[in-house]
Structure 1
Amino acid sequence: MKRRSFIGTSAAASVGFLTTSTAVASNKKTETTAKLKYNINHSVCYWCYGSIPFEDFLKNLVELDIRSIDLVGPDEFPLLKKYNIHASMCWGAGMGIEKGFNDLSLHDELIADYERVIPLVAEAGYTNLICFSGNRNGMDDLVGLRNCATGLKKLMPLAEKHGVVLQMELLNSKVDHKDYMCDTSEWGVSLCEAIGSEHFKLLYDIYHMQIMEGDIIRNIENYHQYYGHYHTGGNPGRHEIDETQEIFYPAVMKAILKTGYKGHVAQEFVPSWENKIDALKQGVTICDI
């Protein structure tokens, strides 16, 4: 399952347990259990587990003591309230990844849609709402940056009024999202500076930025004030974040904590194990430093 095909299709927790197994076999069973430290505020992107009915997945999160979920919209908010699960990154506005704020011709529609959803996010008690630059389609990066700033600045007064933070995701344009414009920290940070509001941040996806620029820890140290949220994923392959891939997540998590970050880190790897919940347990355990 690819995330782009999932966008737009999805309408106090008990003490949990997490495996410390680092097995790579898809049928590996949990071996040991431990309580979460919660130095890291854990979350998870539901689209990676879309084969599991949403309410069943929320029940899994309660059992695992994972208290937040990413990439859910107003249609899902009532069930989140039922299970006391926080929405750490909302969606539900916009036109998807490929059509975003770099296209002036889309601004009227985009702005109207975000004006509709921002109050819904705030009313539900949530803070973060995702947005996208859109694809280049032959556009110069500087022109696209200016266009994004023009459109997003118009939304900042409403976002500030409701206490909502719009977060543009950094995605790779080499493997998963060909031609996507907001594909480096440098471009994203320049956009943040152009907008000049604490209600606009970057969603720093570790998997995507490992592909595009590497130097993950140094960039977190240098630009953390512009990063409002983090996603994980194993590279290559976007699967489990264990020893089967190249990023050493415990060190990355320590670097994030060192910056004083108090937000959420959401697992966004696509499980390759037969037991997807066991894979999630492992990923959260690796990040629970």
Structure 2
Amino acid sequence: MLRIITWNIQWGLGIDGRVDLRRLVDEARGIADFDVMCLQEVSDNFGNLKGNDGSNQFAEIAALLPGYTAVEGVALDIPDDAGGRRRFGNMIVSRLPVTQILRYTLPWEAAPTRNMPRLVLEATVETKSGPLRVMTTHLEYSSDKLRRAQVDGIRDAHRTAHERTLVPRENGDGTYVRFPVTSSAVLTGDFNMRPENATKQRISEAFENEAPALLDSWQVLNGQTAHPYSFCIYEQTNGPPHCCDFIFVTEDLGSRVRSVTYNQESQASDHQPVLLELDL
């Protein structure tokens, strides 16, 4: 069984106002003996965020998970006021061997809203059933126009990954070495959209090149049963409780989905962790 957790950690800021990455990692381990964990809102040198001491959280999380490969996905990289850099983004940690890592910068169109750069972080992991692409992202909060463009960017990344399986590139030495490619993928993250949103549903539309569609794993198992809440359960600063955190699987993996669990007990972040179990 392959276990994947996705979690928007809000830089480790819990409902109690305390930033505690160890608490967060311990709670994730309590949810499952996970093979892969995908995180959003990981920070480095952002002492101006609530409760944040400015530490390098990418390095701290890696140190808390020895035996895992830690993959950074920095979407925002800006100067601080002391000659350093402030970084913010996503992260994947994997107990499984990691081969190719890709970082896709998502479209960042002009919009008058408060917004920032976003990306998709992809790590291909080696499972007993073969390679699997694990992707994680965090889409724009304030603008459906930007989210729509970002969803199209995700779909382009998946489309081209499938095409690389149809036309294998020539192998070579050094930087041209070739690793196994696959159309099979898991897409996780905070999509900042509710389940019924048309832009969210666009993620699962068919591809012209017959790439396997990205299916909402909760709906694979539960049909039209409402998603459990994953945000604003314990504080309603950003509205009433709702779901905006999802795990998608390619349709070839649909029959292998065994469970999708929204943990609604944790208060280590303002979002709830989601666990996917795949029979791989």
TM-score per shorter chain, which class? 0.3 to 0.5
The structure carrying a bigger strand percent of its residues is: 2
TM-score, normalization: structure 1? 0.36
The structure carrying a bigger helix percent of its residues is: 1
